Each structure stands twice: as structure tokens, then as C-alpha cells.
Amino acid sequence: MASLRGANALTMTMRRICVLISGRGSNLEALLAAMAAGTLGGAVVAVVSNRADARGLAIAAAHGVPTRVLDHRAFAARDAFDAALADAVDACAPDLVVLAGFMRVLGAAFVRRFDGRLINIHPSLLPAYPGLHTHRRALADGARIHGCTVHFVTPDVDVGPIVAQAAVPVLPGDDESVLAARVLAAEHALLPAVVRWYCAGRLAVADRQVRVAGERADGDAVLAVPRPDQ
């Protein structure tokens, strides 16, 4: 695996982004595609995973992004893993840390260390359905609208200030996998947009409310994804 040193010199003048993953890395891939297209406003300088078999590591390597694995199972205590992870993240001097499918709950010390520059994408319209199995729960409740949320991370899980959301319809005949795929497509549009706003200095948090400077009157922090048949 590549060292976290040696990032492209271009990143010296751009916002530096560290992405934490645990699995397939599709949201990471969306960020890297936006970076390659010059629309991200920042540079992904490192990807850190808590799983050596995470597919996202290969995606990062294919884009020339340094990677590192820190297996949480190698640590006797959660706090020890969090401390090692924080040191690994700090090693790449990030302006922003993005949790993109990172399946570990981070402790308060880690969150405080990166306060104000730590965001997460969650597969529901928070505050509805925090935690796991969000699509299954939405279907069980008969929800008509579902979606995803990007929020700043706080020590309490999935309750941090909401930056933006994308809503998708729940259609007759949807099962968990079909609905999950529709939400994931929305995530791939929403997360790069939020990262772009952050890198442009457009986000401000006051009294747990996020303001997006220059937000349109129709609310560009709310993305409505069309029905598949439209």
C-alpha cells in the first residue's frame, strides 16, 4: 500500500480531503470522478480503511491516491483504534475528513479532534432512521419518500447538523435492494456537491443549523431525484 506521503503538488493550493471507508467505495469513486473532472474544489489526498479487503482501496489506488489500512480488530480497545486512526488522518494534514461508508462508530475524542471538518453521508432522510438497515425500516413503515443526508459528525451518532439531503420516491414493488440502489445513486450526486461547498468556504454552522452561502431560493441543499419513469 502506498505511503500517505507524496500527494500531488497540485493539492498544495487546494483543500485536502481524507476519506474513510470500510467497503465498496462507491461514494469515494464519485468524489474521485468529480476531482478528475475538476468540479470537486479539493483533492482527495488519502484514503484510510478499517478493512484490508475494502474494494475502495483498489479504486483509490487506480486514481493514484495513497491508501492505508488500520484494522480495528488489531486493537484491544476502541479508544486505542480511534487514537491510531486520528494519527493516520492527521498525517495527511486534511482540511476535510469524509466518512464515506465507514462502518465504525467514532468516539468523542476523535470527533472533537476534527470538529467542524468531519462529515458523514447517511442513507436516510435524518432525523428519520438513524443507525442501520435504513431501507428495510423505511419499507416496513410504508414510507413514500426516502433518501440520504450529509451531516457534520458529532459524538452522538447520526444527529449532527444537517448540511444537505437528497430525496427519492419509494415506489410500489420496491424491495430493499432496489430502494438501496436508488438512494445510492442520490448519494453519488449529493456528497460531491457538499464537499464542493465545503471546499469553497460556503458552509457555516450556528446553533446546530448549517447555512450554505449563496443557496438559491429554491433550496439547492435539497436534491430531489426524479422517479425512474420520468
- Active-site residues, by number, are 122
Please state, as a whole number, how many other Cβ atoms lie within 10 Å of the Cβ of residue 148: 28
For residue 127, say if its preceding peptide bond is cis, omega within 30 degrees of 0: yes
Q: Is the dihedral of CA 118, 55, 38, 89 positive or negative?
A: positive
Strands, E assignment, the chain: 15-21, 42-49, 67-69, 96-99, 118-122, 145-152, 162-169, 203-206, 209-212, 222-224
End-to-end distance of the chain based on CA atoms, in angstroms? 44
The closest of 75, 78, 76, 59 to 67, measured between CA atoms, is 59
For strands 209-212 and 203-206, give the pairing. antiparallel
d(C-alpha 134, C-alpha 20), whole Å: 21
Q: Are 179 and 146 in contact (CB under 8 A)?
A: yes
